[in-house]
Amino acid sequence: MEASNFFKFKHQTEEFEGDSNKDLWSIFKIMGEFVDGYDKLFRVGPCISVFGSARLKPGSKYYEMAIKTAELITESGFGVITGGGPGIMEAGNRGAHNRDGKSVGLGIELPFEQGVNDYVHPKYEINFKYFFVRKVMFVKYAQAFIVFPGGFGTLDELFETLTLIQTKKIKQIPIVLVGSEYWGGLVDWVKSTLVEGGYINPEDTELFYLTDDHEDAVKFVCDFYKKEKPEPNFDY
């Protein structure tokens, strides 16, 4: 190896080792987020996660339906967990707030979002840097998922949860999709392409429930817990 190339390689190696040290230290930041999240959410008690678009405004169909859904969730004895942002998340927290319920916001540091919405109870506000830690908190402490129309983040959270249930990494919990005009095409594709193509089993389509009625959505969850005991999910 020529001398110039040797020194270039040595410099790159030293830079890599420096990055490696940063990665090792980041483990402690990650651990800190897990410890803080576990400690706070364990004290909240049984909750239902409400997912959906951050872009829907007050007065829109699904925003108003999410408020009513969260109100019924609270009246049924559950707390409400959202991502703490605007749109459907705000509506979920707003509904819980309207009924003096537990309104939890799992915020995430993003360049285009400014903190949690005003309806998150300060006692139940938790902010995260890492998306994957935040998603663990959603799943571990949620007794059900009520999912409104949304974008990539909503779909990501939905399919990760379905995968965890399908692979038995967590126990089965109710997953309710609200809005057939939005979810209908996806559900049809799952049945016609994934099931018929052999990519999933036919019974996997029973892992979620589609409805257009917020009362039906909450009733589906409550009926499930007439037979099951609410408890934190999975061990990983």
Pairing of strands 142-147, 47-51: parallel
pLDDT at 152: 95
| Cα dihedral value 155, 157, 162, 168, nearest 10 | 160
User: What's the pTM value of the predicted model, to 2 decimals?
Assistant: 0.86
Structural domain tally of the chain?
1
Query: Per residue in 180-210, pLDDT tens?
Result: 999 999 999 999 999 999 999 999 999 999 9
In a domain, 129, yes or no: yes
Report how far apart, in Å, the C-alpha atoms of 84 and of each of 91, 127, 147, 191 are.
Answer: 10, 9, 15, 33
In a domain, 187, yes or no: yes
In a domain, 236, yes or no: no
State the CATH number of the domain containing residue 140.
Answer: 3.40.50.450
Mean pLDDT, residues 7-15: 52
pLDDT at 18: 57
In a domain, 232, yes or no: no
In a domain, 229, yes or no: no
Structure tokens at 38: 């576990």
Residue 88, domain extent? 7-224
In a domain, 1, yes or no: no
Position 45 pLDDT exceeds 90: no
* Strand arrangement, sheet containing 209-211: 125-128, 103-108, 79-82, 47-51, 142-147, 175-178, 209-211
pLDDT at 6: 46
pLDDT at 28: 86
List residues bridging with 51 in a β-sheet. Answer: 147
In a domain, 234, yes or no: no
